[in-house]
Amino acid sequence: MLTLFKKIFIWWNQDTLGTKLKTIFSGKLVGIDSSGNKYYESKKGKRWVIYNDEIDASKIPNEWYSWIHFTKNKIENTHELKKYDWQKPHKSNQTGTANAYHPNKDDAQIKKKYTSWKN
């Protein structure tokens, strides 16, 4: 029962019932990226993505970013970019997590470059 409730009302739990119906009746699958996200387009030209796991817009890799935003460039036709060995795999936005970048993350104490003149 709770799963059905989540499917109907909670948009951050992947696709809702309305999105599922729209996808079934008017969506044409355009492709799937390396993360498992599915990209759809309607006959009228609307585009949307069904995320594989947690919904986060930063999970759209650069191969599909231009397509979802209607930006014309050479990537749009193939959706396959040549990956070089020096390129890191796509990661979603890490802000607010333990993996977030912080320059003094490993330091036990932030060292001040000044001394206070009041004690």
pLDDT digits (tens, 9 = 90+) for 31-66: 998 888 999 999 999 999 998 877 878 888 877 888
Instruction: Look at residue 115 and give its three-state secondary structure.
Output: coil
Domain contains 47: yes
Domain contains 42: yes
Tell me the C-alpha distance between 76 and 62, whole Å: 10
Closest by alpha carbon to 31, among 80, 71, 70?
A: 80
Domain contains 98: no
Phi, psi of 23 (to 5 degrees): -65, -40
Could you list the residue range(s) of the whole structural domain that residue 54 is in? 19-78
Number of structural domains, the chain?
1
Q: Please give the model's pTM, rounded to 2 decimal places.
A: 0.61
Domain contains 102: no
Strand partners, 48: 40
State CA 11 to chain mean position distance.
Answer: 15
If you average pLDDT over each of 43-47, 74-78, 84-88, 89-93, which comes out highest? 43-47
Domain contains 53: yes
Domain contains 38: yes
For 35, counting Cβ atoms within 10 Å of its Cβ (0-12 exposed, 13-18 middle, 19+ buried), the class is middle
Residue range 73-82, pLDDT digits in tens: 655 555 666 7
> What is the DSSP track for 9-61?
H-TTSS--HHHHHHHHHH-EEEEE-TT--EEEE-TTS-EEEE-SSS--GGGS-
